[in-house]
């Protein structure tokens, strides 16, 4: 059985157990995961997520933040939205 077949056989229950094992570093019976086992489990969790969940629900997902112009204030952003062609001074932070 190759890795693709193994990943196809992962059920939601097995996925949750693998995810917990990665989180706490132990199998459900309490025995410690080796570094190799932890890496393999994490790879399986990430692969399962990519195949079965929307991006926003995947392990490690960080929602993108709305872009803030360098050193600008809320008023400057609103002003820029009204006139996108207006020149804005560049603010350097030390």
Q: Kindly report the backbone phi and psi dihedral angles of residue 72, in degrees, each rounded to the nearest multiple of 5, phi listed first.
A: -80, 160
DSSP 21-33: HHHHSB-TTSPBP
More confident residue, 57 or 7: 57
Average pLDDT over residues 47-64: 86
Q: How far is CA 34 from the centre of its chain?
A: 23
Evaluate whether 25 touches 32 at the Cβ level (below 8 Å).
yes
pLDDT tens, position by position, 64-87 = 887 666 655 554 454 445 566 667
pLDDT tens, position by position, 19-40 = 999 999 999 999 999 999 999 9
- What percentage of the chain exceeds 70 in pLDDT? 76
CB atoms near residue 41 (< 10 Å): 19
d(CA 69, CA 33): 45
């Amino acid at each position: 059985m190759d890795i693709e077949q193994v990943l196809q056989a992962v059920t939601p229950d097995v996925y949750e157990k693998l995810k917990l094992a990665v989180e706490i570093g132990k199998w459900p019976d309490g025995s410690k995961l080796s570094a190799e086992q932890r890496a393999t489990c994490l790879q399986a969790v990430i692969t399962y997520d990519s195949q079965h969940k929307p991006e926003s629900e995947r392990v490690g997902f960080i929602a993108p933040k709305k872009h803030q112009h360098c050193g600008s204030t809320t008023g400057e952003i609103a002003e820029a939205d009204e006139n996108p062609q207006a020149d804005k001074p560049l603010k350097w932070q030390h």
